[in-house]
Structure 1
Amino acid sequence: MSQHFKETPQNAITESKIARVIPCKELDVGDPIKWLSLGLRDFFRTPGLSVFYGVIFAIIPWTIAYLVQLTGWHLVILPAIVCFMLIGPFLAAGLYDVSWELEKGHKPSLRHSLRAITRNAVNEWGFGLMLMILMIFWLRVASLIHALYPQYLDPTLENLLPFLALGTVVGAGFTMLVFFISAFTQPILMERKVDIATAVLTSVNAVWVNKVPMFIWGGIIFTSVALGFVTGFVGFIFLMPLIGYASWHAYIDAIEIKRERKYE
């Protein structure tokens, strides 16, 4: 299946004094479904690697849930979900590598995928640090929201609703911010020798220019995370590798390249 060229739209960020911005392509509304289809193909072509990474992704929210149960601080559930979505793009580097290897006609290996983070190490670890700072900042905001809850009130739905609503609004804002800066940053840093500012600005630009298809894609990611939690984290074993592979194909479709690329 060939990745066809698409019309290059007027980019949202035309000039930046911080870094250059790699031009993006115009996406179609139906592209997210195509990315899922290609991601599913990658999953079944590498079942062992896919399950390995899926189990890792399942362990992370299980640990979060265990800590929530251990501390009894149930208001941490919402920020924990957001934290999971913050860390996810960074941990998906290995999955991107698997799809990249398949695209090049190579046989993916665990060792090769685990070394993916070292290809542009300084900037990739800088990106990870950026996500960690955002995560810590969100946890501090969540702690502040929790501190506003009067201790003398019973933890009923009626009493919790205002604080849950506030947490939802703030969490949605953080999630949107992270989606803009991380949608394509990691694969850009993996494949191209660019600095973190270039990768982040390119990601923001591509999401902004393609708001409708990227909004759909963001909804698919959020739904997958929600399904993973509903299934007691077991669903992450399948869903997170699928989303990781599909995200690589989203990157190939969205960011301008020097020559046509093919995926057989």
Structure 2
Amino acid sequence: MPRTVNPSNMPSKPVPDSEYARTIPCNTLAVSAPFHWLSLALNDLIRMPLISAFYGLCFMGAAIGIVLLIQWQGTHLVVMPSLVVYMLIGPFLALGLYDASWEREKGHSAKLMHSMRAIGRNSTSQWAFAVLLAVAMIFWMRIAALLHALYPSVQGAPLTEFLPFLVIGSLVGLVLAAIVFSISAFSIPLMMERRVDMMTAVFTSFNAVKSNIPAMIVWAALIAGGLLIGFATYGIGMLVTMPLLGYGTWHAYQETIKKKHTP
């Protein structure tokens, strides 16, 4: 079982980040906190145009590739496999944005090459987490395939026959999306900054989301909106939305997860 470090009964010496599968405590957030994170992210975007453009182009290229693949295949069946690949490369691209924000926060001049080297920081835990996300997406695909049994077999069936498929599919999708969001909201920046193991990052992220549900709902909605804008513009919107969300995630992490020296 993961061990939560409560501020009220902290030992006299700080618990090292190397301890396996623990839960780092979090702060309590205001519902409006996500908008503050976006304002800080916008400042980062303006102050670091080269880095923002580089990672924005990477995300945009991946999104355009998915859109073109769907159009080329002429079927929605390639959407989920494409998203699995996106889930694998996305966290590693976001690492560069986290590093750039972190450098600015420390008063340093953020550099593109330095941000790219962040991909190798705690790479074992990061790769394990990327695989975990991919497995979760594959599981999601299998559930979606099973739910297709509820899809009406008669072409042009009335709406009432679609309701079981739509309602159950939406509920299952919402639950799975909430779980994936909960374990990934703060995991990657935590693994990068403190080099903790994957399980510590997952438990800490889940606890932080569970403890700040209203603010996290707002943040999840903003992330979903950014992704929707990106794909609705055939990937071009990712040039701006993904750097914003990446920088915003770093500021969210910094404001949410308690620091080592916090009593």
User: TM-score, length-normalised on structure 1?
Assistant: 0.82
Alpha-carbon separation, structure 1, partners of 2:46 and 2:37: 14
**How many angstroms apart in 2 are the aligned matches of 1:107 and 1:124?**
25
Q: 1:151 to 1:48 in 2, by over 3 A?
A: farther
Question: What letter matches 1:100 in structure 2?
Answer: W
Residues 107-160 of structure 1 deviation map (CA, whole Å, 9 limit, x = unaligned): 222221122121111111111111111122222233334466466625998876
Task: Tell me the SS of whatever aligns to 1:232.
Answer: coil
Identity of aligned residues (%): 47
Match of 1:241 in 2: 243
RMSD across aligned positions (CA): 2.9
Separation (CA, whole Å) in 2 of partners of 1:74 and 1:159: 21
SS at match of 2:60: helix
Aligned to 2:74: 72
TM alignment of 1:48-87, pairs within 5 A = 48-74=50-76, 77=79, 79=80, 83=84, 86-87=87-88
Q: Structure 2 stretches of 5 or more lacking a match? A: 1-5, 9-18
Task: Give the aligned residue type for 1:189.
Answer: M
SS in 2 for 1:201: helix
CA distance in 2, matches of 1:133, 1:107: 37
1:106 corresponds to = 108
Trace 1:96-175 onto structure 2 (pairs within 5 A): 96-146=98-148, 149=151, 153=155, 163-175=165-177
Q: 1:20 aligns with which of 15, 22, 40?
A: 22
Any idea what SS the aligned residue of 1:92 has?
Answer: helix
Q: Show the counterpart of 1:230.
A: 232
Distance 1:9 1:37 in 2: 30
Give the partner amino acid of 2:35.
I
Give the length in aligned residue pairs: 246
Aligned amino acid, residue 27 of structure 1: L
Matching residue of 1:93 = 95
Contact 2:69–2:78, Cα closer than 8 Å, also in 1: no
Task: Verify the 8 A CA contact 1:85 1:175 in the aligned structure 2.
Answer: no
TM-score of the two chains, using structure 2 as the length reference: 0.82
